[in-house]
Amino acid sequence: MQRIGIGIDIGGTSVKMGLFQEDGELLYKWEVPSRKEEAGRYILEDVAASILSVLKEKDINMDSVIGAGLGVPGPVLPDGYVGVCVNLGWRDINPRQELSRMLGGLPVLSGNDANVAALGEMWKGGGKGYSDIVMITLGTGVGGGVIINEKITAGKHGLAGEIGHIHIRDEEQEVCNCGGRGCVEQVASATGIAREARRKLAAVDTPSRLREFGAQVTAKHVLDAAKAGDGLALEVVETVGRYLGLLLAQLSMTIDPQMFVIGGGVSKAGRFLIDVIEKYYVEFTPISEDKAVIGLAKLGNDAGIYGAAKLILG
């Protein structure tokens, strides 16, 4: 009898789910909206109902389901307890226990969504073949996950992998969303890159194709212009790459992973961005030539369901 695991990635807009074979082959994926009214009380009910419906539709007996893994957008304690998920409205909840109950006692394991996505990339994505990786997600914000010996390292307080809020820029005066100043997220996120461009445009009168976008300039505009040879855009990318290279060097000296996996929307710039990061990473780690490689994530939006499935499939 073929046994399967279920991967669940809960997001602020939708919940992505997938059925996986034990070897990690994705059999079927789907999603349902995240209903956040009444403090998100319907989200898990909708997930459970959808899973039971799909299992029935696919003629899969519950006895053949090993369990479900769950990625949650917030800090998750080892027992599955979640104090708060701001994007969902959850407070003081154990979604692992709740979902297990709704699924008739089916085993459920859970983790922070960024950590779970990192696990997915290690298992079947850009980090495949490595057991120790650090994933850095460059999106609207900067997230991350630390995987050691093929297991998520969440830390005693759930803070391991909060890479976006490592302080890296002393002269920064604006306040980050976390309340700090000079965080990686303020420089290297899509939002941060656009802000760097606006600052640069305001500080100099150098001709640049970015000027046509004005205050509406985006990270994609910057990266596309840099690839096309725009001098001002290249300066912005050099700044971003330098800080990310410094970040990776600091992480290397602390964790010493085998690989850094770069994901998120900004990573669509591909090797162009990786090469800039790598230049500074090498400069800041002269102590050793034997160090982590840098590569791109491969699973995209499916990383969360892959990692969640890995939680339960082991």
Where residue 1 falls among pLDDT bands split at 50, 70, 90?
low
Structure tokens at 203: 């500080």
Domain boundaries, the chain: 4-111, 126-298
Nearest to 278 by CA among 224, 237, 236, 228: 237
What pLDDT score was predicted for residue 160?
Answer: 87
* Residue range 4-111, CATH number: 3.30.420.40
CATH superfamily of 126-298: ATPase, nucleotide binding domain (3.30.420.40)
What pLDDT score was predicted for residue 225?
Answer: 98
User: pLDDT at residue 158 above 80?
Assistant: no
Q: Are domains 4-111 and 126-298 of this chain identical in fold? A: yes
Helices within the chain (DSSP H only): 37-40, 43-57, 95-102, 113-124, 185-188, 190-203, 219-227, 231-254, 271-284, 303-313
Where residue 178 falls among pLDDT bands split at 50, 70, 90?
confident
Average model confidence (pLDDT) for the chain? 94
User: pLDDT at residue 240 above 90?
Assistant: yes
The residue type at 103 = L
User: pLDDT at residue 78 above 90?
Assistant: no
The residue type at 169 = R
User: pLDDT at residue 51 above 80?
Assistant: yes
pLDDT tens digits for range 242-274: 999 999 999 999 999 999 999 999 999 999 999
